[in-house]
């Protein structure tokens, strides 16, 4: 692999066109790069800021080849891209991280199998290809448990919680015959993540251990400097570095963890791209996860990830629009708030439309400010 840097003025191609690509485009253009994006969508969040938006299916290999020939390097903001797509693109431009990493991370069974084989701590699991497999897994690992589709799932999609044996048949029917993963339910005290970057030269950087709070399986609040022991913090970062090194990642990857009783740390899943739980870094860190992605895939030195001030992020889902446009003036009356909207035309329940980042005297103060600002979006004015 060439270690020659791809310098400002060059063109970066992004497969995918959602909000992660949009924030990546902001960072890339600020650094002097051009950005092209390809996805099946048009008038997309990334496309609004890209120099060129290509609307094509990921399996349209002629379009993918033409796209790749027009850029200097290719990265991702969406991991559910076909192997044929990444293989085709790689014939014309460097693909970072490599397509093989996406193929592991987009498929829960391949991901967990790889992690287990490398000796990383994962929740107990079984491959499910039939109803008989499901019955045997339930007998071996017990209930409660979670049944998940093996591929192409995120934000709680494609999964069913099982608490009793009489639910097995309905759960298997919901899988519609698709390959699945049975995961033992693990009691945990909190969920945390480590988003990290690895450069072409193997350099490693991270944004610390972030505490994540979910609502209906969707990330709701992320706050840096999770209140975990030093042993957990150190292990989470060491495991994350081991994963990035083991996969030979060039770019950004997030590892989501469960922290259980007795400081037991287990990997939930991987995301081989910038992650929702790292959005605070756009405003609060010396170098954001998006700028770091630019630096890594272009072979530039990685930047400092130091947190400049205590901060917290809350997601803004489409539910906030159910009674009309949110009250942005009310939320922004708090001067410690930063607003990010993704340019999506339609607000739907559960759809990520934007986020708020709040600063505070400490992590708890920042979290409270973020939650209060979001609450102000839908409060009725006093009469």
| Ranges of each domain in the chain | 11-95, 124-184, 190-376
Quick check: helix, strand or coil at residue 40? Answer: coil
| pLDDT above 70 for 48 | yes
Give the global pTM. 0.95
What's the CA dihedral at 279, 282, 287, 288 to 10 degrees?
A: 40
31 burial level (CB within 10 Å; 0-12, 13-18, 19+): middle
**Span 63-75, mean pLDDT?**
98
Quick check: helix, strand or coil at residue 270? Answer: strand
| Cβ proximity of 78 and 16 under 8 Å | yes
- The pLDDT, as a whole number, for residue 217 is 87
- CB count, 10 Å around CB of 116? 15
**Span 92-117, mean pLDDT?**
96
Write out the two tokens for 272. 């081989």
Backbone φ, ψ for residue 21 (5° rounding): -65, -35
Chain segment 324-335, per-residue pLDDT in tens: 999 999 999 999
- The pLDDT, as a whole number, for residue 383 is 45
| pLDDT above 80 for 104 | yes
The CATH number of 190-376 is 3.30.470.20
Chain segment 180-212, per-residue pLDDT in tens: 999 999 899 999 999 999 999 999 999 999 999
**Confidence tier at 176 by pLDDT (50, 70, 90):** confident
Chain segment 214-230, per-residue pLDDT in tens: 999 899 999 999 999 99
- CB count, 10 Å around CB of 309? 13
The whole-angstrom separation of Cα 234 and Cα 4 is: 33
**Span 344-358, mean pLDDT?**
96
Class of the 11-95 domain? alpha beta
| pLDDT above 50 for 142 | yes
**Cα→Cα distances 236→9, 194, 267, Å:** 37, 7, 9
What is the CATH architecture assignment of 124-184?
2-Layer Sandwich (3.30)
**Which range (158-172, 187-201, 276-290) has the least confidence?**
158-172
**Confidence tier at 247 by pLDDT (50, 70, 90):** very high
| Cβ proximity of 315 and 352 under 8 Å | yes
| pLDDT above 80 for 380 | no
Write out the two tokens for 320. 């906030």
């Amino acid at each position: 692999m060439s270690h020659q840097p791809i310098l400002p003025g060059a063109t970066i191609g992004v497969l995918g066109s959602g909000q992660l690509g949009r924030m990546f485009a902001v960072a890339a253009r600020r650094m002097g790069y051009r950005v092209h994006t390809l996805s099946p969508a048009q008038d997309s969040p990334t496309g609004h800021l890209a120099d060129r938006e290509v609307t094509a299916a990921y399996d349209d290999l002629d379009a993918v080849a033409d796209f790749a020939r027009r850029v200097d390097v290719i990265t991702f903001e969406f991991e559910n891209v076909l192997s044929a797509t990444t293989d085709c693109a790689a014939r014309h431009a460097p693909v970072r991280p490599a397509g093989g990493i996406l193929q592991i991370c987009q498929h829960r069974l391949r991901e967990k199998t790889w992690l287990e084989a490398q000796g990383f701590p994962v929740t107990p699991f079984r491959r499910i290809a039939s109803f008989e497999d499901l019955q045997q897994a339930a007998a071996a690992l017990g209930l409660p448990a979670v049944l998940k589709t093996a591929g192409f799932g995120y934000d709680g999609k494609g999964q069913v919680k099982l608490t009793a044996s009489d639910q097995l048949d309905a759960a298997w029917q919901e899988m519609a015959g698709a390959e699945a993963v049975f995961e033992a339910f693990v009691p945990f005290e909190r969920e945390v993540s480590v988003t990290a970057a690895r450069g072409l030269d193997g350099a490693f950087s991270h944004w610390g251990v972030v505490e994540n709070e979910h609502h209906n399986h969707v990330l709701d609040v992320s706050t840096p400097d999770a209140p975990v022991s030093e042993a957990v913090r150190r292990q989470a970062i060491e495991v994350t570095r081991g994963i990035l090194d083991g996969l030979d990642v060039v770019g950004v990857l997030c590892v989501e963890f469960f922290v259980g009783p007795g400081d037991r740390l287990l990997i939930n899943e991987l995301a081989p791209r910038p992650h929702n739980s790292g959005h605070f870094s756009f405003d609060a860190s010396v170098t954001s996860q998006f700028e770091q992605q630019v630096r890594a895939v272009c072979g530039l030195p990685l930047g400092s990830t130091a947190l400049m001030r205590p901060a917290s992020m809350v997601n803004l889902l489409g539910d906030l629009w159910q009674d009309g446009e949110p009250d942005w003036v009310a939320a922004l009356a708090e001067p410690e708030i930063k607003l990010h909207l993704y340019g999506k035309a339609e607000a739907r329940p559960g759809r990520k439309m934007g986020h708020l980042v709040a600063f505070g005297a400490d992590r708890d103060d920042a979290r409270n400010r973020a939650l209060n600002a979001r609450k102000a979006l839908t409060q009725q004015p006093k009469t």
